[in-house]
Structure 1
Amino acid sequence: MQPETNLKRRTPIFQKAWFMWFCLIIFPPIGIVLLWRQGRFTKVIRTVVTLIATAYFVFPIMAVMTTTQPLYNNQNEFLGAFDKEVKELKLNYALENLKEEEETITAMLDEDITLIENIDENGGVHELIMVGQGEGTDIVLSMGMLIGMTNPDLNQEEVGQVLKDLRLFDEDYQYQKNETTVEKNTIRYNLKYDQSAGVIFSVSKVN
């Protein structure tokens, strides 16, 4: 007579409670599936756990998606991009008479063109605003420089196309009454005219 052998069937890992809770914390979508498959609790409890796990998973993603990313992470990064673009375009622009305040840094490109940086509490540059009252050539060059800085992968022809899309060269376009916006590679460019301030060109990141 052969001895009896007691063979215990091993429980698959996906049926174990600890693995379900592990997944609910690490990757809630899988944990929710296991929660309902294992059926360890009442339907009410499973529903409550599902809602909590869903919120835990979704809210951080939504927070990241709704947070506007900076154009530059800090002032040094911005200055590096500025110096590089000025050198490549062989312009004589320099950031002079810097005035730093809590949320802005203001500088003069020349006597008629002002550049304003809107910064956050961590020093990230979220928006660049150029205000110009000078000759048309200087304003076009400044705008082209800002487009090239914030979209370094564009060639000169593509930078020129952005300027055209902003209707900068459209003599019939009435800037006193309208403004134009162009988005290129996650960067938003806005152009408008104010009678007292002059041409206002802003650059910011698209969410």
Structure 2
Amino acid sequence: MQPETSLRRRTPIFQTAWFMWFWLIVFPPFGILLMWRQGRFTKIKRIVATVIAIAYFAFPTIIVMTTTLPLYNNQKEFSDAFNKEVKDLDLSYSLENLKKEDDTITSKLDKDITLIENIDGNGAVHELIMVGQGEGTDIVLSMGLLIGMTNPELSQKEVGEVLKDLRLFDESYKYQRNETTVEKNAIRYNLKYDQSAGVIFSVSKVD
């Protein structure tokens, strides 16, 4: 008489607890599906685990979406980009008479054009604001300078197209009543006119 042998069925890998936990950590949506299909825990515990896993999965995306990236990580990076663009365009502009406060750095490009950098607590530059009251040519050159340095991959022709899209060359456009915004490669350019300040041109990252 042959001895009785017992056969043990091997549990499929997709039904094992470690496989479920692995995917709950690596890719929660698939881990949640496994948890419900395996029927582990009580229904209330599964619901709680599902909420926690979804929050864990979505948190990095929410942080990225709610965090506005700076134009420049620090003042040196900004100055290097500015000086490079000035050299490429053969302009005589320079950052002079810098006045630094808690959240702004104000400087003069020339006697009629002021540049304001909005910075955060770490010194990163989040917005550039040009205020111009000089001749039209100086204002156009300053705007082209800021577009070129914040979008260095654009050609001079493409920079001109951004200026055109801002309605800068449209003599019939009433800046006293309107403002224009153009987005190019995740950079937002805004142009408006204030009777007391003059032309106001701002540059920032798209949220």
TM-score range, shorter chain: over 0.9
Aligned AA for 1:138? D
Residue 110, structure 1, aligned to residue 95, structure 2 = no
Deviations for 1:49-84, whole angstroms, at most 9, x for unmatched residues?
111211121132122112111111111111111111
Residues paired across the two proteins, number: 207
Q: In the alignment, does 2:6 pair up with 1:9? A: no
Shift of 1:10: 2.6
SS at the partner of 2:72?
coil
Q: Which runs of 5+ in 1 are unaligned?
A: none
Is the aligned partner of 1:120 residue 2:120? yes
Separation of aligned partners in 1, 2:120 and 2:196: 27
Paired residue secondary structure (2:99): strand
**Superimposed CA distance per residue, residues 3-52 of structure 1 (whole angstroms, 9 cap, x where no aligned partner):** 55544333233222133223222321121011111101222221221112
Matches within 5 A, 1:2-151: 5-151=5-151
1:112 is aligned with what amino acid? D
- 2:83 match: secondary structure: helix
Alpha-carbon distance in structure 2 between the residues aligned to 1:178 and 1:110: 27
Give the structure-1-normalised TM-score. Answer: 0.94
Q: Per-residue deviation at 1:125?
A: 0.8
* Matched residue SS, 1:57: helix
Aligned-residue Cα RMSD (Å) equals 1.5
CA distance in 1 between partners of 2:99 and 2:168 (Å): 29
Percent sequence identity is 78
CA distance in 1, matches of 2:174, 2:76: 37
Q: What residue number does 1:196 align with?
A: 196
Structure 2: any 5+ residue segments left out of the alignment?
none
